[in-house]
Structure 1
Amino acid sequence: MSGLVPDLVAVLALFVNGLVAGLFFAFVVAVSPGLRRVDDGAFTGAFRAINAAILRPSFLVVFAAAPASAALLAVLHVVDGSSASTWAVGAAAASVATFVITAARNVPLNEALARADVSGPTSASAARRAFESPWTRWNTVRTLTSTGAVLGLAASAVAAA
């Protein structure tokens, strides 16, 4: 498969999926470990601020474009009968899984933290306990799926070359 449109879709898919994977990886290696070191009030305040700040068009466009572009690339490869089809379909599945995990697991946890009473040390501690472990676990899973999407997209590019 070659041509300007498929090549642009491949570059876009790799780029936006790479941004998503990088963001989630940054949380695994730096943000979450850093916040693990602070008290409950600082943790809940910081995570609430991060969750509010990320809901901007710049993130939402990239986040939605990742599975959409990966799926479009997979369709283009399948329709073309490309030898890269398997890699592209796998990458699209991983990218869609990342989106679904975020929507079904991380976002509800973010919303629950936003609604939680954190006005005192006991309530902040309870909110953190309800949030931190499951959010971190699901973030690790979506880091793996988004990284898998990037690797699959790279492999599809190599296979298509």
Structure 2
Amino acid sequence: MEISFKAISIFLAIILTGLSAGLFYGWQVSVIPGTKKILDIYYLETMQSINRAILNPAFFASFFGSLIFLVLASIVHYGTNTSVFVLLVASTIIYLIGTFGVTAFGNVPLNNQLDALSLSELNINELKDFRLEYELKWNKLHLIRSVFGVLSFSLALLALFFQHK
């Protein structure tokens, strides 16, 4: 049995998008509820640490790889099966705007603001005020990228059902 480039591209698009969506979903249902219960200084220190640690090859492979392979899978399915192509393009656009775009233009700038802070120099009220603003915005943006990530993954996965139609 020969595996085609089309099959490999859609497989990698689905796996990587699933990993990305799973990361965001897992964060939404575990980390966010857990961090709501800790003191401001610990929350901000934890978020600084996580935001620095997540910038690693494994995260980059799933986060950027999702977009790369969704685009690639869309291109190689052009003109072969309209349903598969439309589902992959929809998945790509949803991931590009709702997951990638929200992260790049929403969460990352907030993470950069937090990273620039010297938490030890802030008083209790400054810590509380920054956390309140940061956490509210960051969590809303995270929910958006999580929903769009799961939707993108679902559409890419759905494309498999139309693969041999």
TM-score by length of 2: 0.91
Deviates more, 1:118-127 or 1:56-65: 118-127
- Residue equivalent to 1:38: 38
Q: Over the residues paired in the alignment, what is the CA RMSD in angstroms?
A: 1.5
Q: Which residue type is aligned with residue 103 of structure 1? A: A
CA distance in 1, matches of 2:92, 2:79: 15
Shift of 1:3: 5.2
Match of 2:160 in 1: 157
Sequence identity of aligned pairs in percent?
25
- Is the Cα contact below 8 Å between 2:81 and 2:163 reproduced in 1? no
SS in structure 1 of the partner of residue 83 of structure 2: coil
| SS state at 2:37 partner | coil
In the aligned structure 1, how far is the partner of 2:94 from the partner of 2:65? 14
Q: What is the CA–CA distance in structure 2 between the aligned matches of 1:124 and 1:144, rounded to whole Å?
A: 29
Superposed counterparts of 1:1-161, under 5 Å: 4-97=4-97, 98-119=99-120, 120-161=123-164
Q: Give the residue type in structure 2 aligned to 1:104.
A: F
Quote how far apart the aligned CAs of 1:127 are. 1.9
Contact in 1 for aligned 2:17/2:152 (Cα 8 Å): yes
Q: In 2, Cα distance between the equivalents of 1:78 and 1:42?
A: 50
Letter in 1 for 2:9: V
Tell me, in whole angstroms, the C-alpha distance in 1 between the residues paired with 2:124 and 2:15: 42
Deviation string 1:21-50 (CA, Å, 9 cap, x unpaired) is 011111110101100000100100101110
The CA deviation at 1:81 is: 4.3
Deviation at 1:74, TM superposition (A): 1.1
Contact map agreement 1:71 1:89 (CA 8 A) in 2: yes
Q: Hey, what's the Cα distance between the residues in 1 that align with 2:3 and 2:80? A: 11
Moved more, 115-124 or 137-146: 115-124
Alpha-carbon shift at residue 160 of structure 1 (Å):
1.1
Greater mean alpha carbon deviation, residues 24-33 or residues 116-125: 116-125
Deviation at 1:80, TM superposition (A): 2.5
Which letter does structure 2 place at the counterpart of 1:144?
A: V
Q: What is the letter of the counterpart of residue 27 of structure 1?
A: W
Q: Deviations over 1:121-160 (max 9, x none)?
A: 2222122112101100000000011111111101111111
Aligned partner of 2:163: which letter? Answer: A
Return 5+ residue gaps in structure 1 as ranges: none
